[in-house]
Amino acid sequence: MGVLALQGDAREHVSVLTECGAEPVLVRRADELAAVDALVLPGGESTAISRLLQVFDLLDPLRARLRDGMPAFGSCAGMILLADEVLDTRPDAQHLSGIDMTVRRNAFGRQVDSFETDLDFAGLDGGPMRAVFIRAPWVERAGDEVEVLARVPSGPAAGRIVAVRQGRVLATAFHPEVTGDHRVHRMFVDLVREQRRTAGSVNKHTGTDLKEVGE
Protein backbone atom coordinates (compact mmCIF):
# COMPACT_ATOMS: atom_id res chain seq x y z
CA MET A 1 0.00 0.00 0.00
CA GLY A 2 1.37 3.41 -0.97
CA VAL A 3 0.94 6.97 0.29
CA LEU A 4 1.48 9.74 -2.27
CA ALA A 5 4.31 11.87 -0.84
CA LEU A 6 4.69 14.84 -3.17
CA GLN A 7 3.24 17.42 -0.76
CA GLY A 8 0.99 17.40 2.31
CA ASP A 9 0.62 15.23 5.41
CA ALA A 10 1.76 11.91 3.96
CA ARG A 11 3.62 10.80 7.09
CA GLU A 12 0.52 11.19 9.27
CA HIS A 13 -1.28 8.72 7.00
CA VAL A 14 1.71 6.36 7.10
CA SER A 15 1.59 6.37 10.90
CA VAL A 16 -2.16 5.61 11.04
CA LEU A 17 -1.99 2.91 8.37
CA THR A 18 0.84 1.23 10.24
CA GLU A 19 -1.26 1.21 13.40
CA CYS A 20 -4.04 -0.40 11.34
CA GLY A 21 -1.75 -3.31 10.40
CA ALA A 22 -0.65 -2.19 6.93
CA GLU A 23 2.91 -1.72 5.71
CA PRO A 24 2.68 1.57 3.79
CA VAL A 25 5.44 3.01 1.61
CA LEU A 26 5.92 6.55 0.32
CA VAL A 27 5.27 7.03 -3.42
CA ARG A 28 7.04 9.76 -5.39
CA ARG A 29 7.93 8.05 -8.69
CA ALA A 30 6.18 6.02 -11.37
CA ASP A 31 8.09 2.83 -10.52
CA GLU A 32 7.04 3.18 -6.87
CA LEU A 33 3.41 3.63 -7.96
CA ALA A 34 3.65 0.52 -10.13
CA ALA A 35 4.86 -1.51 -7.14
CA VAL A 36 1.85 -0.84 -4.87
CA ASP A 37 -1.68 -2.20 -5.08
CA ALA A 38 -3.47 0.72 -3.36
CA LEU A 39 -2.79 4.41 -2.77
CA VAL A 40 -3.67 7.09 -0.21
CA LEU A 41 -3.77 10.70 -1.45
CA PRO A 42 -3.19 12.95 1.57
CA GLY A 43 -4.36 16.41 2.49
CA GLY A 44 -2.27 19.38 1.46
CA GLU A 45 -2.59 21.90 -1.35
CA SER A 46 -4.45 20.32 -4.24
CA THR A 47 -3.12 22.58 -6.99
CA ALA A 48 0.47 22.07 -5.79
CA ILE A 49 0.00 18.29 -5.75
CA SER A 50 -1.58 18.52 -9.21
CA ARG A 51 1.48 20.32 -10.58
CA LEU A 52 3.88 17.90 -8.90
CA LEU A 53 2.04 14.91 -10.36
CA GLN A 54 2.96 16.32 -13.77
CA VAL A 55 6.53 17.20 -12.80
CA PHE A 56 7.16 13.67 -11.52
CA ASP A 57 5.39 12.04 -14.50
CA LEU A 58 2.80 10.47 -12.24
CA LEU A 59 -0.42 12.01 -13.56
CA ASP A 60 -1.12 9.65 -16.47
CA PRO A 61 0.15 6.48 -14.69
CA LEU A 62 -2.06 7.27 -11.69
CA ARG A 63 -5.10 7.91 -13.88
CA ALA A 64 -4.44 4.57 -15.60
CA ARG A 65 -4.15 2.70 -12.29
CA LEU A 66 -7.44 4.17 -11.10
CA ARG A 67 -9.14 3.17 -14.37
CA ASP A 68 -7.77 -0.34 -13.85
CA GLY A 69 -9.48 -0.54 -10.46
CA MET A 70 -6.71 0.25 -7.98
CA PRO A 71 -8.17 1.05 -4.53
CA ALA A 72 -7.54 4.63 -3.41
CA PHE A 73 -8.41 6.89 -0.49
CA GLY A 74 -8.17 10.67 -0.62
CA SER A 75 -8.59 13.07 2.29
CA CYS A 76 -9.25 16.82 1.79
CA ALA A 77 -6.90 17.71 -1.10
CA GLY A 78 -6.96 14.01 -1.97
CA MET A 79 -10.75 14.21 -2.38
CA ILE A 80 -10.32 17.17 -4.74
CA LEU A 81 -7.78 15.29 -6.84
CA LEU A 82 -10.04 12.23 -7.11
CA ALA A 83 -12.99 14.23 -8.44
CA ASP A 84 -14.37 14.24 -11.99
CA GLU A 85 -14.91 18.00 -11.83
CA VAL A 86 -13.47 20.66 -9.50
CA LEU A 87 -15.01 24.09 -8.90
CA ASP A 88 -13.13 27.20 -7.69
CA THR A 89 -9.72 25.92 -8.70
CA ARG A 90 -6.98 27.11 -11.04
CA PRO A 91 -7.69 26.66 -14.76
CA ASP A 92 -4.52 24.61 -15.19
CA ALA A 93 -5.23 22.29 -12.25
CA GLN A 94 -5.46 18.59 -13.07
CA HIS A 95 -7.71 15.96 -11.51
CA LEU A 96 -7.84 12.18 -11.66
CA SER A 97 -11.53 11.32 -12.31
CA GLY A 98 -11.44 8.51 -9.76
CA ILE A 99 -14.97 9.26 -8.47
CA ASP A 100 -17.97 10.53 -10.44
CA MET A 101 -18.44 13.71 -8.40
CA THR A 102 -18.15 17.49 -8.56
CA VAL A 103 -16.15 18.97 -5.69
CA ARG A 104 -15.94 22.62 -4.64
CA ARG A 105 -12.46 23.54 -3.45
CA ASN A 106 -12.16 25.54 -0.15
CA ALA A 107 -15.95 25.29 0.12
CA PHE A 108 -16.09 26.02 3.87
CA GLY A 109 -13.88 29.10 3.67
CA ARG A 110 -10.32 30.02 4.52
CA GLN A 111 -7.93 28.64 7.16
CA VAL A 112 -9.59 30.74 9.88
CA ASP A 113 -12.89 29.00 9.08
CA SER A 114 -11.53 25.56 9.96
CA PHE A 115 -13.76 23.66 12.38
CA GLU A 116 -14.59 20.32 13.98
CA THR A 117 -17.89 18.46 14.18
CA ASP A 118 -19.30 14.99 14.83
CA LEU A 119 -20.44 13.01 11.80
CA ASP A 120 -22.60 9.95 11.34
CA PHE A 121 -20.50 7.89 8.95
CA ALA A 122 -22.23 5.05 7.07
CA GLY A 123 -20.61 1.66 7.49
CA LEU A 124 -18.66 2.50 10.66
CA ASP A 125 -19.61 1.05 14.03
CA GLY A 126 -18.91 2.84 17.28
CA GLY A 127 -20.98 6.00 17.04
CA PRO A 128 -20.29 9.39 15.48
CA MET A 129 -16.84 10.31 14.18
CA ARG A 130 -15.09 13.53 15.16
CA ALA A 131 -14.10 15.26 11.93
CA VAL A 132 -11.57 18.07 11.42
CA PHE A 133 -12.15 20.36 8.42
CA ILE A 134 -9.20 22.54 7.32
CA ARG A 135 -9.83 24.65 4.18
CA ALA A 136 -11.97 21.71 3.20
CA PRO A 137 -13.94 20.91 0.05
CA TRP A 138 -17.44 19.54 -0.14
CA VAL A 139 -19.18 17.44 -2.79
CA GLU A 140 -21.75 19.38 -4.82
CA ARG A 141 -22.72 16.51 -7.11
CA ALA A 142 -22.44 12.77 -6.56
CA GLY A 143 -23.04 10.40 -9.48
CA ASP A 144 -25.56 7.58 -9.44
CA GLU A 145 -22.91 5.00 -8.55
CA VAL A 146 -21.42 7.06 -5.73
CA GLU A 147 -22.37 6.10 -2.17
CA VAL A 148 -22.72 9.06 0.20
CA LEU A 149 -21.12 8.13 3.53
CA ALA A 150 -21.40 11.35 5.56
CA ARG A 151 -22.97 14.80 5.50
CA VAL A 152 -22.50 17.87 7.65
CA PRO A 153 -25.13 17.53 10.39
CA SER A 154 -25.90 21.17 11.22
CA GLY A 155 -25.01 24.82 10.71
CA PRO A 156 -24.86 26.85 7.49
CA ALA A 157 -23.41 23.87 5.58
CA ALA A 158 -25.93 21.34 6.91
CA GLY A 159 -26.52 18.50 4.47
CA ARG A 160 -23.33 19.03 2.46
CA ILE A 161 -21.68 15.78 1.41
CA VAL A 162 -18.24 15.27 3.02
CA ALA A 163 -17.50 11.56 2.54
CA VAL A 164 -18.16 9.27 -0.43
CA ARG A 165 -17.24 5.94 -1.92
CA GLN A 166 -17.41 4.61 -5.45
CA GLY A 167 -16.34 1.01 -5.78
CA ARG A 168 -12.82 0.73 -4.37
CA VAL A 169 -12.24 4.49 -4.14
CA LEU A 170 -12.98 6.36 -0.91
CA ALA A 171 -12.77 10.11 -0.20
CA THR A 172 -13.33 12.40 2.78
CA ALA A 173 -13.38 16.20 2.92
CA PHE A 174 -11.94 16.05 6.43
CA HIS A 175 -8.70 14.73 7.95
CA PRO A 176 -9.25 11.40 9.74
CA GLU A 177 -5.48 11.02 10.13
CA VAL A 178 -5.27 13.76 12.80
CA THR A 179 -7.92 12.81 15.36
CA GLY A 180 -6.80 9.44 16.72
CA ASP A 181 -9.94 7.78 15.34
CA HIS A 182 -8.67 5.21 12.85
CA ARG A 183 -11.97 3.78 11.65
CA VAL A 184 -11.86 5.30 8.15
CA HIS A 185 -8.33 4.01 7.61
CA ARG A 186 -9.36 0.56 8.87
CA MET A 187 -12.26 0.64 6.42
CA PHE A 188 -9.80 1.34 3.62
CA VAL A 189 -7.32 -1.32 4.75
CA ASP A 190 -10.18 -3.85 4.89
CA LEU A 191 -11.28 -2.78 1.39
CA VAL A 192 -7.76 -3.40 0.09
CA ARG A 193 -7.55 -6.79 1.79
CA GLU A 194 -10.87 -7.78 0.25
CA GLN A 195 -9.62 -6.66 -3.16
CA ARG A 196 -6.55 -8.88 -2.74
CA ARG A 197 -8.67 -11.87 -1.75
CA THR A 198 -10.89 -11.29 -4.78
CA ALA A 199 -8.09 -10.71 -7.26
CA GLY A 200 -5.72 -13.38 -5.94
CA SER A 201 -2.21 -13.00 -4.61
CA VAL A 202 -0.42 -11.64 -7.70
CA ASN A 203 0.07 -7.95 -8.46
CA LYS A 204 -0.50 -7.72 -12.22
CA HIS A 205 1.72 -4.63 -12.43
CA THR A 206 4.79 -6.30 -10.85
CA GLY A 207 4.11 -10.02 -11.21
CA THR A 208 5.10 -10.52 -7.59
CA ASP A 209 3.23 -12.08 -4.70
CA LEU A 210 1.54 -9.71 -2.27
CA LYS A 211 1.65 -10.04 1.47
CA GLU A 212 -1.62 -10.11 3.38
CA VAL A 213 -1.31 -6.56 4.75
CA GLY A 214 1.83 -5.26 3.08
CA GLU A 215 2.77 -3.31 -0.03
Number of domains observed in the structure of the chain? 1
CA distances (Å), origin 211, targets 37, 191, 205, 215: 11, 15, 15, 7
Q: Is 45 annotated as a binding residue?
A: yes
Is residue 213 situated within a structural domain? no
Is residue 211 situated within a structural domain? no
The residue-averaged pLDDT of 98-122 equals 90
pLDDT 10s digits, 150-165? 999 998 899 999 999 9
pTM of the model: 0.90
Q: Is 63 annotated as a binding residue?
A: no
The residue-averaged pLDDT of 196-204 equals 65
pLDDT 10s digits, 86-98? 999 999 899 999 9
pLDDT 10s digits, 36-46? 999 999 999 99
As annotated, the active-site residues are 76, 175, 177
User: Which residues form the domain of 37?
Assistant: 2-205
The residue-averaged pLDDT of 26-41 equals 97
Domain with 85 in it: what CATH number?
3.40.50.880
Chain-centroid distance, C-alpha 121: 15
Q: Is 99 annotated as a binding residue?
A: no
